[in-house]
Amino acid sequence: MEFQAHRRYLLDVVLLLLLIQCGLGQTDSLNSSADWTALFGLRSSLGLRGKDWPIKAEPCSSWTGVQCKAGRVVGITVSGLKRTRSRLISPRFAVDALANFTALVSFNASGFLLPGSIPDWFGQSLVTLQVLDLSSSSIAGPIPSSIGNLSKLTVLHLSGNSLTGSMPSAIGQLSQLSVLDLSRNLLTGSIPPIFSSLNNLTRLELASNFLSGPIPPNLGTLSKLQVLNLSDNSLTASIPSELGNLSALLVFDLSMNSLTGVLPVNLKGLRNLEKMYIGDNGLEGHLPDDLFRSLSQLQVLALRGNKLDGGLNRDLLAHPKLKFLDVSNNILTGSSPSFVPNSVAVFNFSNNFLFGHLNLPFEFHGSIDLSGNYFQGVVQNKSHNVSLRGNCLKMVPNQRNFEDCSLFYSGKTLTFEGFGEGNPDELVHRYVKNNRLKFIMVGLFGGLGLVVIFVVILVLFLKICGKGKANKRAKSNDEASPSLPKEPLYFAGLGDSFTYEQMLQSTGNFSEDNLLKHGHSGDLYKGFLESGLPVVIKKVNMQYLKNERYSLELDFFSKVSHMRFVPVLGHCFEREDEKLLVYKCMPNGDLANCLQKVSSSEDDTVQSLDWIIRLKIAIGAAEALSYLHHECNPPLVHRDILASSILLDDKFEVRLGSLSEACVLGGDQHHNVFSRLRRTQQSSEQSSSGPSQASCSLDIYCFGKVLLELVTGKLGISKAEDSTTKEWLEYTLSNISIHDKELITKIVDPSLMIDDDLLEEVWAMAIIAKLCLNPKPSRRPLMRYILKALENPLRVIREESSSSGRLRTTSSRTSWSAAFHGSWRHSSSDVHRECGSGGSKQPGRISSYGSCGYDFLSSNKRLSSEIVPEPEEFRDVERQD
């Protein structure tokens, strides 16, 4: 009996658990017919795919982004979802079905394209809404005043759109609002003072608009505010001292405005502040003595680009938590600043009027920029992480001239000590001037001697080749290539030879702080030579060395010289276990970081390149690829064309990098160009069943994606291949047509300020990009024609209106149009011949670089009679979509 009672008790418990589970299941299922209808209406109007919102499944449990509570829809997230093809072609702000959700609490469409304006009924029907996120959704037009009726709203994200007009005062009625983000739009007018009534606000972001007028002083009453970002606007007048009452503030950003006056001492009330950005304004006066002593949590301070004068605040320099300080481009004066030893902070005092003798810390792991001042004397404890250009220092290169330094110190009624043995730059100039005749004679006789030596070597080389030709033909196809020499080869084209000790000093013992990235063939470190020149040092991967690519890469750089490749300044081959190459540092980094980058290390605002520079970059990259494809014999395929491979110098000239994966056209993709350049001569017969062959069309396809990045400002497209990127490409290419210029406005980077003429250039580049992305490799244009089209972009789209009929009937093979069309009308079997042919070669022509196995054509002339593709061919490309 006792056993049966226990068994019955267990059955009752199981039954109770089943009933509870059934009850919970009923709670999670949708039981509102109005919500059912609204969901299907929203699914249809937005064109969401069945994979995300399957029509036969229960929405609450199976539809991505749908949240339910008590049988009602309370949350909808369409961010990251995919559309059907028809809706991709013509997306619009079609969310009328939202009005039927009477229990909706959250709607998130961040990054989901909704072109159009916010309807007025949003504020009348969505009264239960608490979270509204429409950031980066291509919304335009004004913010409706009715949005002030959403009394339960706590989070409002509308950033990254094209909203216009002024900010409605009705937003001040949203008493529950904690986050308000209207940054990166086109809003005008002033900041409504009624915003001070948002007592629950913790985050106010209005950056990157066109706001004007003064900052409302009553914003200082927002006691819960933690982030205040008003940067990159046109705000005027002085900084209200009332803002010092924001005791909970963590981030304070007023940079890139037109603010004037002094830095209010009342800001010392920001006792929890961690980051302060007030750079690029017009602030004047001294730095307050007791301001920074009170800001005990301060880590970042940016005051660059103002008119601040006086001396440096010692409390500020001794701040225990300060990690970044930028007071450059002011008119600060006084003696050398006192630094805290063993600091890891970054200090920038450049372009001020600081003077006197320098006393740098003995050990400093951060960086200091003291350039553009008037320091004199001998530098003690000089380190590679200290920039000293443009001062009055002894035995330091790139200093001011004697007259400038003397005039400055005499104005201070002080004595300039001079350069001692002389300014290094002036000494070099004087030495060269006095020995000019000697240099001319040495150069003349040295040149004649080199010519004689070259002729002798050439004769000996031809004899050796003739004697060894028969022996080489007899070698077996399977004979293994000889091993590399133990010592690396030295090449004249690899610049200076550095010691390993110099490399350690330049990179701080190859510290992690100086590591830039892990490259294909080795790690890259930033460093500074003893002269102060910034460089990038590659620490060659030893596995790369074992695979025979190391010496081969050196051979390539020693014999290929072109302005569009990253210059090699030197090498270090001292150690058996570490081989180093020294490259010139590119001040503007790569295109991936430069297209839309943080304006400076202390400023979160984004600045994008203007159109003139973008077109210049496209042409430069095309020149580099055209050189590889058409002026090298055999032609080379880069195979790694990304925005991160396109490096930019201080004038935004392209220097193509990432050459370690390049290979000969049609070559094995598992053997890059370096391993093929110096491979010992074996039988030319190769197995036909090897890996896939590399072709120039791969580079052209990747280059097309880079062009789209330049047109749209969309980052990461050139390196991504996921489904989201493919969907974006489908939508973007559908808005590129030779017949409709207005379509391009849907995809063009909203940060570009362009007129109608420049819009036509953008349109032309988009058309060229679409041709490069043709799904059929054999129909993609050749690189030399892409280059000519980019150099004459307006003719790409104006040719049709002026002479489209003539272009379609012309038979001239000298026209640019005919050449461009011919570039993709050949079958893929002709790609090798087309890609490598730079023109017919004359018999007996001697290559200028014949010794390295390449024939680099010396002529870079382009036919001026060549013009762009015919519109008929563009239509053919569009029909494939």
Distance CA 678, CA 209 (A): 57
Distance CA 348, CA 302 (A): 9
Scan for tokens 């039927």, then name that residue. 100
So which residues are the catalytic ones?
640
**In the Cβ-directed half-sphere of 433, how many Cα atoms lie within 13 Å?**
6
Scan for tokens 């004769």, then name that residue. 459
Amino acid at 438: K
Phi, psi (degrees; rounded to nearest 5) at 525: -120, 145
DSSP state of 169: G
Distance CA 836, CA 135 (A): 47
Q: Quick one: tokens of 571?
A: 């090498």
Q: Contacts by 838-847 with C-beta closer than 8 Å and gap 24+?
A: 838/630, 838/631, 838/784, 847/633
Burial class (CB in 10 A: 0-12, 13-18, 19+), 610: middle
Residue 857, SS3? coil
Where residue 413 falls (left for φ over 0; alpha for ψ -120 to 50; beta otherwise) is left
Beta strands in 615-727 (DSSP E): 636-637, 646-648, 654-656, 663-664
Cα–Cα distances in angstroms (integers) from residue 371 to residues 173, 355, 436, 607, in the given order: 51, 11, 32, 25
Distance CA 683, CA 153 (A): 75
Beta strands in 127-195 (DSSP E): 131-133, 140-141, 155-157, 162-163, 179-181
Cα–Cα distances in angstroms (integers) from residue 810 to residues 803, 817, 819, in the given order: 10, 9, 12
Scan for tokens 């079905």, then name that residue. 97
Contacts of 292 (CB under 8 A, 6+ apart): 298, 301, 313, 315, 316, 319
End-to-end Cα separation, the chain, in angstroms: 78
Residue 369, SS3? strand
Distance CA 667, CA 142 (A): 57
Phi, psi (degrees; rounded to nearest 5) at 229: -125, 105
Distance CA 728, CA 88 (A): 9
Q: Which one, of 836, 830, 802, 835, lies nearest residue 817 by Cα?
A: 802
DSSP state of 654: E
Q: Which residues of 766-788 are buried (b: 16+ CB within 10 A; e: fewer)?
A: bbbbbbbbbeeebbbbbbbbbbb
**Using only C-alpha atoms, what is the Rg of the chain?**
33
Distance CA 295, CA 740 (A): 57
Scan for tokens 């093809």, then name that residue. 85
Distance CA 183, CA 160 (A): 7
Rounded-to-10 torsion of CA 248, 253, 257, 262: 60
